[in-house]
Amino acid sequence: MIVSRRAAAAIASILLLAEAWPAAADPHPVVQAEAQPLAPDPVTVQPWSRGISAERKARARQLLARGNELLVQNRYAAALEQYQLAIAAWDHPAIRANMVVCFINLARPLEAYESALLALQYGPAPLDKPEVYAETQNYRKLLEGQIAALEVSCGEPRARVTLDGQELLACPGRTRRHVIAGRHQLVAYKTGFLTVTRDFTSSGGGVQSIDLRLVRLSDAARIERPWDPWKPWAVTAGGAALMLAGGALQLKAGADMRRHDAALERSCGPDGCDGDAIPGWVSDRKSRAELENKLAIGAIVTGGVVAITGLVAVYINRPRTILPGESGAALGVAPLVSPDGAGLALGGRF
């Protein structure tokens, strides 16, 4: 929504210009003020003027006059700067009404809406003319469809809450803010607690209440292991048993080879004999001893790999604290067979 140059000029002229004041009342009558002495009776002081000195009122009038000159030139950013200085001296609803025009033309609907609420908070009295009050009301109604109200509470002491990355609340406490309708994010955090992130979508004209509750890490965490405690030890024991079996088979292979050598010497004498002359049963004993030796070596190697895998699994299987959203360690073991030997493939996530 863009306010035309013609409309801006009309608003600026309506909002408390000199023509609304008798010339003798004030040489610089820009902001409406009560025709009262400098120290009026507290009962007659209007809420928007209470505690404001004559010097601050004069300062606000001068700044408003400069802002109005810029407003009719469509120099909204420069006019807004003057109005902001003016309300620092005297937060008058009429100045807020002019700020609404600037914020709308600068595409800042949230600030325009909040300025309209401040301009209308005391009704039409401080705005001097009903046209200004009606115009500001219209702006507020048009802006309501783009604005939502957000109420946020948090009870955890010393926790902090941010809204879309900006500081919002120091807990414990409760606050109410206006936001542009759409997606937003609240984050509550405190050392030793899980960070709470809440994504939400607000609708124009609606009110949304969110209570943020933090949970201690010690309460949210769980202790877990990848496997039951006995399983890695069983793998280790199985590998050790396989190594022992391989060792025993190798001893037997050695004994069978010695018996083969003794039988060969008895059958062929000290000088030996040709291959065809060696008795079949003697050759079979040698073949069996060689096979046993190969099987023994394979068992020892495979058992060693399995035992080492088991010991690694014992280490990995230590109790681990898992926070929500995390996953524990996982270990995978697969047999690996090739023409040159056998073993196990170990893979994991830690």
| Position 46, amino acid | Q
DSSP letter for 126, please: G
Distance of alpha carbon 154 from alpha carbon 195, whole angstroms: 13
For residue 19, the model assigns a pLDDT of 30
Q: Within a 10 A sphere around the Cβ of 146, how many other Cβ atoms? A: 17
For residue 277, the model assigns a pLDDT of 61
Distance of alpha carbon 272 from alpha carbon 133, whole angstroms: 127
For residue 285, the model assigns a pLDDT of 76
For residue 270, the model assigns a pLDDT of 67
For residue 274, the model assigns a pLDDT of 64
Q: Within a 10 A sphere around the Cβ of 265, how many other Cβ atoms? A: 13
Q: Within a 10 A sphere around the Cβ of 99, how many other Cβ atoms? A: 27
Give the relative orientation of helices 130-144 and 5-14 as an angle to the nearest 10 degrees. 130
CA distances from 154 to 150, 151, 162, 165, 176 (A): 13, 10, 11, 17, 12
Would you state the structure tokens that stand for residue 199, as one six-digit string?
A: 């994504």
Q: Which of 142, 144, 150, 143 is nearest to 183 (CA)?
A: 150
Q: State the Rg of the chain over Cα.
A: 45
The model scores a pTM over 0.75 = no
Please name the residue that has the structure tokens 């992130």.
197
| Position 157, amino acid | P
For residue 28, the model assigns a pLDDT of 30
For residue 8, the model assigns a pLDDT of 46
| Position 82, amino acid | Q
Q: Within a 10 A sphere around the Cβ of 208, how many other Cβ atoms? A: 15
pLDDT mean values, one per 10 residues, the chain (350 residues): 45 38 29 32 70 92 94 94 95 94 94 94 87 92 92 94 93 93 93 91 90 85 78 90 89 83 72 65 78 88 91 84 56 51 52
The beta-strand segments (E) located in the chain are 147-154, 160-163, 166-170, 173-180, 182-189, 196-202, 207-212, 222-224, 320-322, 330-338, 341-349
Please name the residue that has the structure tokens 């000195």.
53
Distance of alpha carbon 104 from alpha carbon 129, whole angstroms: 21
